[in-house]
Structures are given as C-alpha cells and as structure tokens.
Structure 1
Amino acid sequence: MILITGAAGYIGSKLVHFFLDQDIPIRAIDNFRVHPMPKMTGATIHKMDVTVRDDVKEMVKGVDTIIHLGAISDVSQCETHADEAIQVNLLSMQYLMSEATKAGVRKVIFPSSFAVYDPHSERITEQTRLKPVTFYGHMKKWAEELLLAEQAKGTLDVVIFRQSNVYGKGWVSKTTVIENFCRSLLNNQPITIYGSGQQTRNFIHLDDVAWAYYRALSPSVQGVYNLGGEETYSIFDLAHLVNQVGQESIGRSVPIIRKHPQPIEEKKTHFTTLDRQKLKSLFRNRKMKSVKTGIHEYLREST
C-alpha cells in the first residue's frame, strides 16, 4: 500500500491517477485547504491532516511506502505565514517518520527543491553545496536532514527528489511560468517578464515527474536525486519559445514586455548545467519530454 499525502495537489493528483492506471494500491489523503477534491474517475481522496498526530497514526496503518507531498509550497506564503509553514512542512515530517517506523513502513519518498542550493551555483550535482537563501529552501533542507538522519539509523529507506520547475497540464492547475506565458498567449495578451528575464530555470514535465516517483518505489532506489529536465532556459528565451510554439500550433504570437522592478524580490539563479547522470540511471531508456513538446501539448489541450 502506497500512502500519498497532499493527494489533491498538482503532483499528488497526477500520482493518484498514474498509480491507479498501474493497478498500484494507494491510500490518498489531503486536508483540502488549498485544493478541493479533483474530479478523477475511480479515485477517492480521504480528508486527513498530516499535522494531526491521531490522523497520522491512522493513515500509516498497513502502508509500505509514503510519498509525502503535503506541504505549503508557495515561497512567499512560507515567509508570511512562517508558523503555519513550520507546522505543515516540518512538524508533519516528524509525525510521519515517528509513526511510520512504529507501523513498519519501509520507505519515504520526499519532494525537495532546487531551493536548497546556492542560487549562484553554475553547475548543479547532487553533491553541490547546500546554501538556501529563502525560508522555504531552509525548510526543505531541514526536512532532508530529518529524513537522512532516520535513514542512517536503518529504520527507513529514503528517496529525496530535489525538483526543478515542474510544468504541464494536470488534474489540478498550478501557476508556473510556462502556464502563465501560455495563458497570456491563449488570451491574446502580452507576455510579461519582471526584471531582466536573464534568470535561468530548469524545467521538467509533470509526466516525467510521475514516472520518477513510480520508479522510486523500487527497493533498489534510494538516496538523493536532482529531478530536473534536459533543458534550461532564461525566462526571456522561454517567452520567445512560447511565441514560436504559438505560431506553429495556433497561428498566434503576442508582444513580450518587461516590467521593473519585480513585484516580489527573487534571488536570480545562474546555473547553466545540471548533472543528470544519477537521474539517467533512474529513467533508464525513457526519453524525457522536451519543453517545446510540453508547450505544444498545453496549448492543444487548452483550446
């Protein structure tokens, strides 16, 4: 039995659907504070809360693996609601690990983030120095440390996915830069870039993320993985790519405008290279979806 927390969220709802298609038994839970129950045929998501210890005791019964997606993932919300963020993003982890070891759970799979890295790192590997600059990034780092300490005791196997920017159409909408640019194009409105547009982002499609979590169920898969895609773009180049795909798929492009300053101060990332050797061993011969293909699919499915 696989426990999926945060099952009504962007990645969680995708995994629920993906695992059901694979006939993998799951227990899906969410507190529905952020997302309502997605409309998915044959899927049931139970209302439970990872910050309530009695709920945690109940949800881990008979579970072999936990995929712990329940979290506050909005960076600015973590800053403005720090107490709640600590409770949801860290205290819940402690509850889950404590109750999981008592219940005989074998493995925990956890989504971390590139936010744990120094944003000035030009090349990122799994061994790159951890130097978060946001409260969100610090919480991800602390959660990793909790998990790795538990693994060192020999009580739990752990898989940590340090995820880059996940995009793609799912059961639940998520405000990503690619989705924002595509929506502007579909609405025939200018694409707006805040700041210089030179900050770089790595992108991975939601379908590839789901595959990685599926592969992580294997007992042989353990440790830290950078879960990123094969392509890294500046925001400016990404806007031009969306326009290029727009011309090819719906015969439309829109103006690109810049606004200064950015509405929320954001540390710029400068990396140009992501070492994917370890991830390749996880994906084996599976080919990742290109950003261009993902944008084509998003526009096609939205028209």
Structure 2
Amino acid sequence: MKTVLVTGAGGYIGSVLVPKLLSKGYKVKALDRFFFGKDKLEENSHLTLIQEDSRRLREEVFANVDFVIDLVAISNDPSGELLEEATWQTNHVSRVRTATLAKNAGVKRYILPSSCSIYGFQDQQVDETASTNPLTVYAKANEKAEKGVFALSDDDFCVTVMRQSTVFGYSPRMRLDLAINGMVYGAWKTKKLPLMRDGSQYRPMVHVQDTTDVMCLLLEADTSKINKQLFNIGSAENNYQLGPLAEKIANTVSELMGEKVDIEWYGDPDHRSYSVSFDKVENALGWKAAWNAEKGTKEIVEKLESGELEKTTQTITLEWYKDLIKWHKIIKNAEMYGGILDI
C-alpha cells in the first residue's frame, strides 16, 4: 500500500479527500492543527492522525511516505488580510519547506493545490501560460509557493500545481463563507440570496468532489505528463458571471422549496474577475468535471433540510479563527496550576 501525507487534512477539502484516498486503498497520514476538530475524519485502520503545525514539521513525519498533497492554508482573502503574517508563513514558507523535506526524504510526488485567484483581474479568458495578477495576501502567498515548489522538481521528485477554481459543495468541515455555498444557505434560510456588487465579475467554480478526484488522478498519472506542470482545475460550464450564477441558484432553491428567492446585494464592487480555460487538465488527464452549480445547490439544500448541515461559527472560517484567538487569551489569563476551576 502506498502512503499519502495530506496536510490540512481536517479542513474543507481535506475531510473530503482523506476518505476518498482510503477508499482507493491508500494509507493516509492526516496532518492538521485540527482547529475545527478531529471528528471530521472517521477512524480507519489505515489512517494516522498527526496533530502538528505545518510550520514545525520534523523529518520523521515523512518516513515511508510516497506522496504529499499539501492542502494546508490559511483560507480565504478576509483571513489572509487579518492574519497576514500567519498566511505568509503557512501558505508560502511552510509549503516550500514541506516540499523540501519531502524531497530529502525520498518522497516521489508532491502536489500543491493552489488557487485561480492568482489571476486576479483579467480582460480575457486565461490559460496556464497567462500572466498572473494576484491582488490579495492569500493569492500572493499562493503564487510564491508555486514558484518555490516548482524549483525543487527533478526527475526523481515530481511536482504538480493545481490552480483550483473557487470550490463549492458539501464537506464534513463545511464552509458557508464560499461563494456558492453562502448563496445557497442565504437563499434557503431567508429566501434572500446575498450577492456582492456588482455581479458582472467572472469567477470559475469547482465542486469539492471534482477537485479531490483530480488529486487522486495525479497520484496515478504518468510523471511525464504532470511533472513541473501547472493545471487549472474547473470546467468551461462552471465559468460563471456572478449575477447570472446567483439567478441560477435562486431559481433552483425556489423550485426545491416552492418559495420565491430574491437577490440581496451587499458590499463594494469586487474587482477580482477572471474567466479560465481548463483544456489542459481535460486533455492531459482525460478528466471532466461532474458537478455544476445547480447540482451542488441541490446537494446543499438536501443536507440543510435533513439537519445534517447547519450554520455555526465553525462554518465561517474567519469568525472561527477570531473565536479561537479570543478564547486563547481568556483561557491563558484565567488558567493557574494547569486548570481553571479544577487544579
């Protein structure tokens, strides 16, 4: 059995990827701080949980590891702006260090899931050869990480970068701060779909099941096709202008719930806009996305209706980080002799 080290394994994408890898016959070392709890990953005889910070990894973590999927990240733009130093350390420095340690330990493949947000603002559709235009700390750190890990690639160490579209869909570590997910929740809960002005911006989307399928394919693909290669991950169908996308979601929720859903505008205009070509990944791997916004909307509504999914502070990444920071200070100030009341 091959062993995959997954960093950020307890996160939104990781908690979908890890069970998928186990079902395909891999052993998995799941490394995470587990800010959102260890309960997102079910016990398995081939699963080893490692609670550690990616900035403090030791060489022994890579023992007997064949592949690394380096999902770890301080995710999203608001978190990146508030936690700027931690974002640079985690999303750039720790990933390059992880790749370096992996290479030194004899790991064969390293996969970096990056982000199409690196494209920033573009006047025309872009492919992997296009110039980048990162506008946020999150995007800039991803770009630095890409360059750092690509520099390590050689015949014995296969490095592949995935520039993921904005991810959506259900996950055990659910995020309702992602575009489609948040729209669906608002439409279902209040019959008002929240949409950032002005709706003309383009954004590519990819379902969490689709992007994790690509990660699995990259573990098996011929190295000659993927070594030192960059792939945009998504599909032409899921290149959405946000205004029309909101209408699709509103109409889908309306049909499912039998109630009219209105669009509710908020915020200043979002200046990030990019439409992306996905021909390269489709041709190289023979992969096609299986999900679109309507299918993903139905999935989330079903989870909400069943009670399996509900909105909590944990589903809004930045709010949960803020809570952890607040309670860390409170507990640190109140603790004496190893406890609070019981000492």
TM exceeds 0.5?
Answer: yes
> 1:1-303 to 2 correspondence within 5 Å?
1-33=3-35, 35-43=36-44, 44=47, 45-52=49-56, 55-151=57-153, 153-154=154-155, 156-174=157-175, 175-220=177-222, 221-222=226-227, 223-230=229-236, 231-261=238-268, 266-269=270-273, 271-272=274-275, 274-284=276-286, 286=288, 288-303=290-305
Tell me, in whole angstroms, the C-alpha distance in 2 between the residues paired with 1:171 and 1:145.
Answer: 31
Aligned residues: percent identity? 24
Contact 1:245 1:296 in 2 (8 A): yes
- CA deviations 1:105-150 (Å, max 9, x no partner) are 1111001111222412411101011221222211111111111111
Question: Structure 1 residues 243, 115: closer, same or farther in 2, change over 3 A?
Answer: closer
Tell me, in whole angstroms, the C-alpha distance in 1 between the residues paired with 2:145 and 2:193.
Answer: 36
Q: Identify, as 1 or 2, the structure richer in helix.
A: 2
Counterpart amino acid of residue 22 in structure 2: L
Counterpart amino acid of residue 133 in structure 1: L
Tell me, in whole angstroms, the C-alpha distance in 2 between the residues paired with 1:25 and 1:146.
Answer: 27
Question: Structure 1 residues 7, 119: closer, same or farther in 2, change over 3 A?
Answer: same
Contact 1:7 1:13 in 2 (8 A): yes
- CA deviations 1:190-242 (Å, max 9, x no partner) are 11223211111111111111110000102513311001223222222122111
Which secondary structure does the structure 1 equivalent of 2:58 belong to?
Answer: helix
Deviation for aligned residue 1:71: 1.3
Deviation for aligned residue 1:268: 2.8
Tell me, in whole angstroms, the C-alpha distance in 2 between the residues paired with 1:76 and 1:287.
Answer: 28
Structure 1 stretch displaced more, 199-208 or 253-262: 253-262
Deviation for aligned residue 1:282: 4.6
Counterpart amino acid of residue 182 in structure 1: V
Deviation for aligned residue 1:277: 1.6
Contact 1:49 1:56 in 2 (8 A): no
Counterpart amino acid of residue 263 in structure 2: I
**TM-score normalised by length of structure 2:** 0.80
CA RMSD of aligned residues (A): 1.9
Which secondary structure does the structure 1 equivalent of 2:181 belong to?
Answer: helix
Deviation for aligned residue 1:179: 1.2
Counterpart amino acid of residue 246 in structure 1: V
Which secondary structure does the structure 2 equivalent of 1:124 belong to?
Answer: coil
In the comparison of the two structures, how many residue pairs are matched?
294
Counterpart amino acid of residue 40 in structure 2: K
Structure 2: 5+ residue stretches without partners: 306-343
Tell me, in whole angstroms, the C-alpha distance in 1 between the residues paired with 2:100 and 2:63.
Answer: 13
2:309 maps to what in 1?
none
Which secondary structure does the structure 2 equivalent of 1:127 belong to?
Answer: coil
Deviation for aligned residue 1:67: 0.3
Question: Structure 1 residues 181, 148: closer, same or farther in 2, change over 3 A?
Answer: same
Tell me, in whole angstroms, the C-alpha distance in 2 between the residues paired with 1:74 and 1:195.
Answer: 18
Structure 1 stretch displaced more, 283-292 or 220-229: 283-292
Tell me, in whole angstroms, the C-alpha distance in 1 between the residues paired with 2:137 and 2:288.
Answer: 35
Tell me, in whole angstroms, the C-alpha distance in 1 between the residues paired with 2:268 and 2:103.
Answer: 48
Deviation for aligned residue 1:27: 0.8
Tell me, in whole angstroms, the C-alpha distance in 1 between the residues paired with 2:212 and 2:121.
Answer: 26
Tell me, in whole angstroms, the C-alpha distance in 1 between the residues paired with 2:301 and 2:14.
Answer: 23
Contact 2:87 2:137 in 1 (8 A): no
- CA deviations 1:9-56 (Å, max 9, x no partner) are 0011111111111121111110123x211333334532122111xx33
Tell me, in whole angstroms, the C-alpha distance in 2 between the residues paired with 1:30 and 1:211.
Answer: 21
